[in-house]
Amino acid sequence: MSLLVVGSMAYDDVITPAAEARDALGGSATFFAAAASYFTPVNLVAVVGEDFKHEEIAFLRERGVDLDGLTVEAGKTFRWKGRYLANMNDRETIYTHLNVFEQFDPRLPELYRESEFVFLANISPALQHSVISQVHRPKFVAMDTMNFWITGAPDALRETLKLVDALVVNDSEVRELSGEDNLIIASRLVQQMGPRTLIIKKGEHGALMVHGESYFFCPAFPVARLKDPTGAGDTFAGGLMGYLALSGKVTEENLRRAVVFGTALASFVVEDFSCNRLRSLDRKEILGRVDALRAMTRFEKDSFWPAEE
């Protein structure tokens, strides 16, 4: 089924303890679309500058991403530079240049307005609200946000949360949004704001899904050659939403499977800079990691508890 993503396309300069990459293809919509395209065609809405390379656009088109919603504006593309610390979890931003992204005002092509699955990447909640109003009858809408919007635009964020089915954020963001330290209580408070489903990213510790009254946890796949964590969260969201759009049904079981597929895709992207690892994946590799994740969490319930006499 049709899948829409609205977010950023960017160039990143990334420094890790082991290596460095300059002018690496990045942006939330880029990582999301590259991952989701393994499951379903993707409609992408973003803005780039005149400096954006044509071969990057060709890469996404080859992956089946529809770029009728991509606009090219006079000026430079969004750029970010950051440095990861030795633990590869913490990072510091050296600079952020929004450039043409600062004036981003997403307008959906008519075909995109019929999208059944919608993902609102990390843009202002006012723009996310605007996108939702342009989609006619979405079956499932999920969104991302960050601390900047939680503290800087709380009213607009709460208005947008009322309109979505799922929120995909990390654990610190759930705590800040709810004002509650206990993650379970915090999740319930956020659910009361609108989204029935919370998918909480915990980095190297996996992902927790709170859906209605139930919980589901998927560990992260153990990656031996971690090279660049940039875009892992957006890649996770792309795998998750891509699987849901492929299945066409939003059930608790499908949501659980979607979390696992998202986790598998995220484990690949961190093995190289930018989207490089996502350029060469095949279905066998993806299913191999999904099977490995299943095996990691499987156990026989009666094998360790003696039967009652």
Alpha carbons 55 and 76: distance in angstroms, whole number: 17
Domain total of the chain: 1
Give me the residues paired with residue 67 across strands: none
Q: What's the pLDDT tens digit per position in 131-147?
A: 999 999 999 999 999 99
Report the C-alpha dihedral over residues 35, 42, 255, 208, rounded to 10 degrees. 40
pLDDT at res. 302: 65
Q: Is residue 226 one of the residues assigned to a domain?
A: yes
Among 101, 96, 89, 161, smallest CA distance to 132 is for 161
Give me the residues paired with residue 81 across strands: 13, 95
Q: What's the pLDDT tens digit per position in 17-63?
A: 989 999 999 999 999 999 999 999 999 999 999 999 888 888 899 99
Q: Is residue 44 one of the residues assigned to a domain?
A: yes
pTM of the model: 0.94
Residue whose tokens read 């899948």: 3
pLDDT at res. 306: 63
50-72 residues labelled b (16+ CB within 10 A) or e (exposed): eebeeebbebbeebebbbebbee
Q: Provide the CATH number for the domain around residue 163.
A: 3.40.1190.20
Q: Is residue 301 one of the residues assigned to a domain?
A: no
pLDDT at res. 18: 80
Q: Is residue 19 one of the residues assigned to a domain?
A: yes
**Dihedral of CA 78/79/84/90: which sign?**
negative
* Domain limits for position 48: 3-296
Interstrand relation of 207-211 and 197-201 (parallel, antiparallel or unpaired):
antiparallel
Q: Is residue 240 one of the residues assigned to a domain?
A: yes
Q: Is residue 303 one of the residues assigned to a domain?
A: no
Q: Is residue 172 one of the residues assigned to a domain?
A: yes
pLDDT at res. 297: 87
- Count other C-beta atoms under 10 Å from residue 227's C-beta: 20
Q: Is residue 308 one of the residues assigned to a domain?
A: no
Q: Which two tokens stand for residue 154?
A: 């709380």
pLDDT at res. 298: 84
pLDDT at res. 34: 97
In tens digits, the chain (309 residues) has pLDDT values of: 799 999 999 999 999 998 999 999 999 999 999 999 999 999 999 999 999 988 888 889 999 999 999 999 999 999 999 999 988 888 999 999 999 999 999 999 999 999 999 999 999 999 999 999 999 999 999 999 999 999 999 999 999 999 999 999 999 999 999 999 999 999 999 999 999 999 999 888 899 999 999 999 999 999 988 999 999 999 999 999 999 999 999 999 999 999 999 999 999 999 999 999 999 899 999 999 999 999 998 877 665 666 665
